[in-house]
Amino acid sequence: MINALSLPFIGSHEFRKELTRLLDNVKETNEPIVITNQGKPSAILTSVDSYNQLHEMIDELQIAIRELADKEYISELITQKKKIKSGKGIAAKDLYKQLGI
């Protein structure tokens, strides 16, 4: 996990003067920049790609959390894991054949 305080930072006054350069830099490097106001972190400037990746990860985590909260889903996972351990699972090549892959 990235700590915002470990990222490069710039004061809001300088940020206003250097906006175009900073936007280009963030877009090219995908490295976020912390914008401070009166010496305290106030916002983080990040690229659209990084923002989209972050939200994709959040969506995936929300799905995983819902699945983990689903008792039937977990029960089925445990049942299938036991089948695999006991040798009753299906070989990957057979599964691929069934799926037409």
Claim to verify: residue 58 and residue 40 sit in the same structural domain: no
Claim to verify: residue 62 and residue 95 sit in the same structural domain: yes
Claim to verify: residue 26 and residue 67 sit in the same structural domain: no
CB of 86 within 8 A of CB of 92? no
Domain with 33 in it: what CATH number? Answer: 3.40.1620.10
CB atoms within 10 A of CB 51: 12
pLDDT in tens, 25-81: 999 999 999 999 999 999 999 999 999 999 999 999 999 998 888 888 889 889 988
Domain range holding 63?
A: 50-99
Is the whole-model pTM more than 0.75? no
Residue 5 has pLDDT above 80, yes or no: no
Maximum Cα–Cα distance for the chain, whole Å? 66
Claim to verify: residue 26 and residue 61 sit in the same structural domain: no
Claim to verify: residue 42 and residue 54 sit in the same structural domain: no
Claim to verify: residue 67 and residue 31 sit in the same structural domain: no
Buried b (16+ CB within 10 A) or exposed e, 1-16: eeeeeeeebbeeeebe
